[in-house]
Every structure is written in C-alpha cells, then in structure tokens.
Amino acid sequence: MLEWLRVRWQRRKRHTTAHNLLLYARRVLNYRRGQLSLDKEVILSGHLEILKKNWHTLPPGRVEEIDKYLVSVGGNIYPVRRWTDTIEAFLMAIIVAVGFRAFFAQTFTIPTNSMLPSYHGMTAELSDGHARSSLGNFIRGITHYAPRTQKGGRVFIPLNDRTEAVRNHSLISFERTNKCSYFLIPQRVRSYQLWVNNESVPIHVPADFDLENTLMARFCPKISSKKIADAIDKFPLIRRNGRIFLDTGVDVAPNAPVIAFDLQHGDVLFVERLSRHFRFPRRGDAVVFATWRVPELKNDDRYYIKRLVGVPGDVLSINDGKLLRDGHPANDSPAMEKNNEKRGSYGGYFPYGALAGKSVAVPAGHFFVMGDNSANSYDSRFFGPIPKNSVAGRPLWVFFPSRGK
C-alpha cells in the first residue's frame, strides 16, 4: 500500500513538473522571441511541441533534459524566482482591484445622517461608562468611548475664536490629525480635548463625525438645540492662556470617565459604478458623487450621498413641506413620497438655501440633489446643482453594520 502511494505521488509530481514546463516553455518562446538565436528558437519550439503532445507521458530523463534547456535560455523568466512571481502577482492584484473600483463597484461609508431614515450615518449615544466588548457590538459597528481623568475636577470645553470657527465650521475647538489603527494604518481623525481643571483629556473620533451634539447632551442637557452657540449666553466663559473655554459647571471624580458614549458606525454601502457609463441616474435614485467635481465643494476631497430630485429643465420649489416639480409633488421614489406626506420618520422638505421661498431651474448638464433628512442636510440648496460627471454610482445595498435589535 505504501509503495503504491509512493509511486502514485511520484507520478503526480512528474506530471505537475512537466505541465509547468509546458507553460513556461510557451512563455519563454513568446517573451524572448527575437532575443534568442534562430537555432535556439527552433530547439525550444521542438521541446514545446513535445510537451504539448506528451507532457503527461514523458519519462523523467526527458523532463530533466527540457528543464535544463529552459534554464539555459530562460533569462529572467525561467527558472522561476519566488520573489519575482510574488511581486508580479501583488502588482496584478492591485491593478485588478483599482480597475474594479474605477469601473465596476466600490464601498462607501456614510458619515452623516443627511439621508435618514433611508441610510444611517454615524450616531453617538451616551452610556454609563462600562465597556461592553461583545461580538454583537462588533457586528453592529459600535465603538465604546470613555476617556478618563486622573485628578478629577471641573470640566471645560475649549472654544474656537471667530477665524477658527469660520474655517472649521464649529465653535468647539478640534484638530484634524492622523492616528494609527490596530493594523498600523494611519486614519484621519478629529481630535477633541476636554479640560478637567488643568488636565487635558483627548478624544479621537472619526474625521467625519461631529462631537458637538454628544458634548452638549452630556454637559448642557437643558439646551434643547444641542448647539454650543445656544449655550454661550447661558454658561460662563473663561479665558486661559489666550484661549476661551466654556465652563460646563460639571465636576467629575478622579479616575472617572469625563464622558462615555457608544459610537455606531455609519452604513457601509456597496456602490455600483458600471451603469453610469451607459445611462445617467433617474429622478428618485440615491447617488454617490465626488465633491471635488462640484465648484462650491472643490476643496472637499470626499464623496457625498444624496437623492436625485431634479434633472435639466426641472423647476423645483418647496411649499408646505412638499417638494414640487413644475408645481406638482415630486414623488419619484418611496422616500420622496413619504417626505411629501410627512409619513413615519420622514419629516418633509424644508425651504432652506436656494429654495427659501423661491424656485430653482436645474441647468443643462447638472442634477439637483437633496438629502432625505431635509432638515439636517447640506445639499444642492446650499452648494448648487452638481455636474453630471461628478456622479460616481448608485448604492445597491448596506453590508455593514447590522442594525438589527
């Protein structure tokens, strides 16, 4: 039995070697044609014909003979160098991945809640400070934050001056920095710093997440708008070392969390890019577009997701929470119909920006896009219609996280 297995294994090994010789002989002849002398090309062609017809029946001596000849004429192609093949395979994988992403599909993470309730962005919920590391939280995309203070004391929130507030679109001071993840890959983050007396407590959240509402819910719960601008007149301000701080009036104990919250990851979408090469999206479709192709957003190197509500020639307006096209309700998708009827979690359309009591005609070569969460969406009402060539694709489905209860 063992002898039979040994013979069978040797035969299988010889067949594999001969078949590989066939592949590499073909490759050497194709890539080195013109570099070899005519005599060598003729001999190599003869070996190739023998391999094509009899590779599975060649005796070991003949296989070794062909192998030695391939080594003598193979150059950089044969014999095989593992590191060369590994690099070649790696580069091919990159090319295939880039091509697939550019022409077929890619993933897209929704940072904000401008498309609620159709799609979810990052959301934070205050917690009791106890970490709950579980598979369920991982599947649901929840990250627990509970930065602690060593000494304890009064909590202060640093504020921006007027110039920084305009540049960062926020009164709360933060910095955009890079922070390495567990896999040593740098990721863009927002770095906030709370001060407990004279102790700095950093909080690093994803770059697209605004911590303002969470901070207000924790330290200024009576401010219903959850905006720091509405708290400035109601809370004392102090100046330290040339900086302005909001005195929250909240004291925390030593070694206790200054703030504790669970941050749920935004929906990760699978975005289909192929159809845009053949047809443009239709009214009512959700679309992902490149901000750098929009004149008003050219300095924002990201992708946005909104719903296409107007194409060239459409005249749009908002009246009594309804989005009107040429004077009639624009009900091109279930989400738009529910918004116009203020049904369920859809709160209707708000006449902000360009649609504040006015009508807008969509120009040629452009689309008008809006978020389903019209009250909290930065869209074409503010940055104008988007060029057609800015559309990257259509979302197909959400594959992470699972939001099941």
Domain residue ranges of the chain, discontinuous segments joined by + = 2-73, 123-264, 268-400
Strands (E), 220-354: 237-240, 243-252, 261-264, 268-272, 286-290, 303-310, 315-319, 322-325, 328-329
pLDDT at residue 82, rounded to an integer: 59
Give the tens place of pLDDT for each residue, 182-199: 555 667 889 999 999 999
Q: How far apart are CA 223 and CA 173, in angstroms?
A: 19
**What number of residues does the chain have?**
405
Give the tens place of pLDDT for each residue, 254-307: 999 999 999 988 888 888 877 766 778 899 999 999 999 999 988 777 889 999
pLDDT band for position 85 (cuts 50, 70, 90):
low
pLDDT at residue 405, rounded to an integer: 46
By CB atoms closer than 10 A (0-12, 13-18, 19+), residue 96 is exposed
Please compute the mean of the pLDDT values over residues 12-41 and round it to a whole number: 79
Query: How many CB atoms within 10 Å of residue 30?
Result: 9
For the domain spanning 268-400, the CATH number is: 2.10.109.10
Q: How far apart are CA 114 and CA 91, in angstroms?
A: 38
Residue with tokens 């920095």: 177
* Parallel/antiparallel/unpaired status of strands 322-325 and 261-264: unpaired
- Whole-model pTM: value is 0.66
pLDDT at residue 365, rounded to an integer: 94
